[in-house]
Structure 1
């Protein structure tokens, strides 16, 4: 079963994507713009807030993590906007990035770290709910979900 799922996933990366719908195109560009903005904010005006979010258990300098993740966000945001034929692969990579940073969001909730105006447990908890939606947004807007479903048939 797991090997079948992996096979479908790999095939979805190499399959020619269906044309995007207008809502998907708008969603992909909006997500790309949001990632570009977030990445730029990592490197400039929100650097301290992002450093506060890096969990203490991460074995790297917090500033390095913030700079590196900012560069990744800028790269992914740009790729979402200009991607073209490889949009399915980019969708999976963006989704994986959102999964990879999720432990930092959980840490912010558990340690009650204030950053970005998230100064209550409720605000930090709401943010946790939206992280999986970002994963789905990346997969839907790039056609990755459709490609995976198409391969499942």
Structure 2
């Protein structure tokens, strides 16, 4: 017989399962690869997505976002005990870079083979998919109650 949690307590997180683990590994690898691309082979392509309102030099913005993306990717891959936190942070990151995709479409900027308005517009629909993938693959949405538990008990890992 399984032990039920006390009323008002937060149950232990459920395991991720095979599909979520696989998606988490793919997402973490994608983020790490994209971050490396920011710093190396796709640096100019990423500059096409930097909105004019960003107060930093476009190249510096690309480098800083690349470092952040590598860190997020490695965190998705390695920090299983903090996966809920990491999942939410990655989702917010994907939300934060969305204006760059929007500007690329609005201003008709080419990059990554997105050389028509239709292609750039279609790409906009992938950002919500990435946000959902970050929340699902880390079970951040499912296990969001653990954020409250961790806040109440900072010594728990």
What TM-score results when the alignment is normalised by the length of structure 1? 0.86
In structure 2, the CA distance between the partners of 1:114 and 1:25, relative to structure 1 (3 Å rule), is same
Contact 1:16 1:85 (8 Å CA) reproduced:
no
Answer 1 or 2: higher relative contact order, Cα 8 Å, separation at least 6.
1
Partner of 2:14: 18
Partner of 1:46: 42
Unaligned stretches of 5+ residues in structure 1: 1-13
Contact 1:108 1:124 (8 Å CA) reproduced:
yes
Partner of 2:33: 37
Aligned length: 138
Computing the radius of gyration from Cα coordinates, the structure with the larger value is: 2
Partner of 1:84: 80
After TM superposition, which residue ranges in structure 1, 4 or more long, deviate above 2 angstroms? 14-17, 148-151
Out of 131, 134, 142, the residue aligned to residue 135 of structure 1 is 131
Unaligned stretches of 5+ residues in structure 2: 1-9, 148-157
TM-superposed CA distance for 1:68, in Å, is 0.3
Instruction: List per-residue Cα deviations over 1:60-115 (Å, max 9, x = no partner).
Output: 11111000000000000001111111000000000000000000000000001000
- DSSP-derived class of the 1:72 partner: helix
Report the structure, 1 or 2, having the larger helix content. 1
Instruction: List per-residue Cα deviations over 1:111-141 (Å, max 9, x = no partner).
Output: 0100000001111111100100100000000
Q: CA RMSD in A?
A: 1.8
- DSSP-derived class of the 2:123 partner: helix
